Chains A and B, each alone.
Chain A
Amino acid sequence: MKSKWFVRAVLLPAVILFATFMVFPIVSGLVIAMFDYNPLRSENSFIGLSNFIKLFHDATFIKSLKNTLTFVFVTVALNITVCLFLSTLISSLRWGRLRSLFRVLFFMPCVAPLVASSTVWRGLYSPKYGLINNFMESVLHIPAINWLGTPAFVMPAIILFTLWADMGYNIILFSAGMDGIPSDFYEAAEMDGTNAIKKFFFITLPLLGRTMSFVVAMTLISHFQMFAQFQVLAGRTGGPNQAGNVLTYYIYKTAFQAKDMGYASAIAIALFVIIMIVTLIQQRASRVDWGY
């Protein structure tokens, strides 16, 4: 009985923190979404579900939703594929220090604040003075591209930057997962004359299931929430023809520029629901019932 009191007392601060900073904002957001809420007004009227109904007719919301889904699914797919490939290469290195060196190199962009690295990349994408176009023109003899000024190139440019900035975490996680696979499986496969590609698809990939499930879930959630690179690279208009406008940025603009907090809360709740649905589907699809 006494120990229960102690446990309750020790947990109390955590519960207060959780309630204050997690539960209360979510509930507040839901309530605010039902008001025509502008903090600059003295009176804000209750409008029920009008903000949620408005979402279905708002062309900018629909465009932002499409952009968000495109960004998330393309970036996550590329991220997982490239990270798996690089992790396999790194894990195949025999010298431990060299493996560590590559992991550190790939992890370095993750250490830099996203706003700072986005700003540097904005300079790299500059049509006339940017390193990328200068390299393309002078070395590859390819005409320069107006990366952030052409609707078709804005999202690919942001995806490329995000891949560079965010690969490090997953390379570390996949590498750790690969290091945890018992070597017996590979030795047995080698005795059977299995080549590297088959080993990857029939041993590494299946046995990385738990790591893969975790990595995909976390990467999906974090990519849905990404904001900094859109603000820096797409700019305050969301890029030409809003080609770089995503839900997080639209929430920010609606809340803090248009000061329409009610509608911004409705968009935020829509994003919350989308993330929840996608995560549930992903978790169900990648359920793993075994261990080694």
Chain B
Amino acid sequence: MKKILSITLAALLVMSLFAGCGGSGSGGGDTQGGGAQGGDAQGDITLTLWSHIEFWNDAQDKIIQEFEAANPGIKVKRESFPYDDFESKTQTSLLSKSGGADIYNLWGGWAVDFASTGAFSPVPDDFVAELKADSYEPVLGAFEYEGNYYGVPLEFNIEYGGMLVSIPKFDELGLSYPKTWDEMIRIARENSESRGVNFELRGFDFPAWDALTYIWLSMILSSGGQYMDGDKFNFSTPIGIETMQKLVDYVKVDHMTNTEGITNAEELEPYHKFFLGESLMVPRGPWVVPEGIDDFGLEYGVDFDYVAMPFYGSQKLFAAETGWGLAVNASSANQEAAWKFVEFWLEKDRLLDYNISCGMVPPVKTISHDPDLLAAMPYLAPLVDILDGGRFIGYFNTDILKEAVGDMYVNIINSDISVADAVKELDDTLNEE
């Protein structure tokens, strides 16, 4: 009897252990729509769309409603997660090649990691032809792998070409916005003020996670240089070293700003500090403009402006990475319906409406100059004219590049290492990885 009791007890303990490990569900997310993945009792198809929680979820729901109205046999269920959860859930589901969503609203750069694993369904051929004909170069770059495309772009992610300028401070100084690189640097140099480690006014606050790298790459490209030699990094060129030396001197010699934007010394990003009145000019993507208006209560056109940033060299060239887009899961049982939904989303008028709702620069040429777009977002005006100069940054993990460039830059500022040596080390590090 005791033996049976002990075995029963042990079995119960083991079962409770495994019960604790089991279970399913996708708690913690923001969900729209309903129905089980794959289909429901009536035989309708139910697609699952995964995205992260953002203000653009409403615009996605609008598209879903329109799609469901136009396609009565297909339902779409949106599941949105906090950004970090979304990234890890996406990676886990794509690696396991089972479960997950039918469609992912993912960052284009992630496709670099997954396209080669066969996790994504290739874009249908007729859709590819249409996309290639109308898209800007950088927006497709990360989705292409060995001649096939594994995702479609929803935006042109642009981190170079525009900058925030303080209208009151320019008025107070009696200055007009700079038209050339040299003029911009002169204004920044002459008007920066610091007191110890703190700044009263940062003339040109450029050292930040994205901005530093994109400015450097644009300085190289606009001067006719290259930073890639085949599939290897090659910053150790005369123009690569010269341009990095300039960027170092702006901080080390001219004291236009410091490296707080990269070193985590300050919780605020450079554009936050701009909105708090600490800076004269800050380069950043146009997506920060709504944040200045909504979160800082500033008035666009009165408190600040968003203007074209001059190019360092004579050519209006800059690097850009593939931004937010859509990809279809290769393990989805409903790939055809999923691509139908994606194509529906990318119809010109709908994409334009979505870009306006989300404050995004359109990825395709036919709508980037649409009057409705510029009426809704006048601050895009300086950017839409330079989009043709965008070059795909390269088929690599851009976070690794940005971190390595940021590390190198801070190291040069805080030590006696020469720019040439530091850039050589950068090449070695990146090419080893």
| B415 neighbours in A (Cβ, 8 Å) | 241
Flag if B7 contacts A9 (CB, 8 Å): yes
Could you list 8 examples of A-B contacts with CB < 8 Å?
A2-B3, A13-B13, A40-B114, A40-B116, A126-B265, A234-B264, A235-B263, A240-B411
Query: Provided the pairs A2-B3, A122-B267, A145-B197 are in contact, do residues A237 and B399 lie with their beta carbons within 8 angstroms?
Result: no
Annotate B170-212 by CB proximity to A: 1 below 8 A, 0 otherwise. 0000000000000000000000000011110000000000000
Name which residue of chain B comes closest to A231, CB basis: B264
Query: Provided the pairs A149-B259, A149-B260, A258-B433 are in contact, do residues A5 and B6 lie with their beta carbons within 8 angstroms?
Result: yes
Name which residue of chain A comes closest to B87, CB basis: A256
Which A132-158 residues sit within 8 Å CB-CB of chain B?
143-151
User: What's the minimum C-beta distance from A116 to chain B, rounded to whole angstroms?
Assistant: 14
* 9-residue interface stretch from B46-54, B135-143, B316-324, B402-410: B402-410
B266 interface residue per 8 A CB criterion:
yes
Flag if B265 contacts A9 (CB, 8 Å): no
Query: Provided the pairs A122-B267, A149-B266, A237-B407 are in contact, do residues A40 and B197 lie with their beta carbons within 8 angstroms?
Result: no
Which B107-153 residues sit within 8 Å CB-CB of chain A?
113-114, 116-118
Query: Provided the pairs A10-B6, A12-B13, A12-B14 are in contact, do residues A233 and B264 lie with their beta carbons within 8 angstroms?
Result: yes
- Count of B interface residues, CB-CB < 8 Å: 39
| B41 neighbours in A (Cβ, 8 Å) | none
Annotate A234-247 by CB proximity to B: 1 below 8 A, 0 otherwise. 11110111100000
| B259 neighbours in A (Cβ, 8 Å) | 149, 240
Flag if B95 contacts A40 (CB, 8 Å): yes
CA distance in complex: A41, B196 (Å): 50
CA distance in complex: A80, B414 (Å): 33
Flag if B410 contacts A240 (CB, 8 Å): yes
User: What's the minimum C-beta distance from B129 to chain A, rounded to whole angstroms?
Assistant: 29
Flag if A17 contacts B6 (CB, 8 Å): no
CA distance in complex: A268, B137 (Å): 41
Name which residue of chain A comes closest to B264, CB basis: A235
Annotate B264-285 by CB proximity to A: 1 below 8 A, 0 otherwise. 1111000000000000000000
A28 interface residue per 8 A CB criterion:
no
Which residues of A does B touch, CB under 8 Å? 2, 5-6, 9-10, 12-13, 16-17, 39-42, 122-123, 125-128, 143-151, 233-237, 239-242, 257-259
| B265 neighbours in A (Cβ, 8 Å) | 125-127, 146-150, 240
User: What's the minimum C-beta distance from A67 to chain B, rounded to whole angstroms?
Assistant: 14
User: What's the minimum C-beta distance from A119 to chain B, rounded to whole angstroms?
Assistant: 8
Cβ contact of A146, chosen from B7, B117, B260, B411, cutoff 8 A: B260
CA distance in complex: A12, B400 (Å): 46
CA distance in complex: A234, B263 (Å): 8
CA distance in complex: A218, B149 (Å): 53
Cβ contact of A126, chosen from B196, B267, B399, cutoff 8 A: B267
B163 interface residue per 8 A CB criterion:
no
| A12 neighbours in B (Cβ, 8 Å) | 10, 13-14
Cβ contact of B196, chosen from A17, A144, A241, cutoff 8 A: A144
B69 interface residue per 8 A CB criterion:
no
- Known contacts A5-B6, A240-B414; can you find 15 more A-B pairs with CB under 8 A? A9-B9, A10-B6, A12-B14, A13-B13, A13-B17, A40-B116, A42-B117, A126-B266, A127-B198, A127-B266, A128-B266, A144-B197, A233-B264, A234-B264, A239-B263
| A41 neighbours in B (Cβ, 8 Å) | 116-117
B327 interface residue per 8 A CB criterion:
no
CA distance in complex: A13, B266 (Å): 48
CA distance in complex: A10, B406 (Å): 55
User: What's the minimum C-beta distance from A161 to chain B, rounded to whole angstroms?
Assistant: 14
User: What's the minimum C-beta distance from A139 to chain B, rounded to whole angstroms?
Assistant: 16
Flag if B263 contacts A144 (CB, 8 Å): no
Name which residue of chain B comes closest to A128, CB basis: B198
Annotate B387-412 by CB proximity to A: 1 below 8 A, 0 otherwise. 00000000001011001001100110
CA distance in complex: A104, B281 (Å): 49
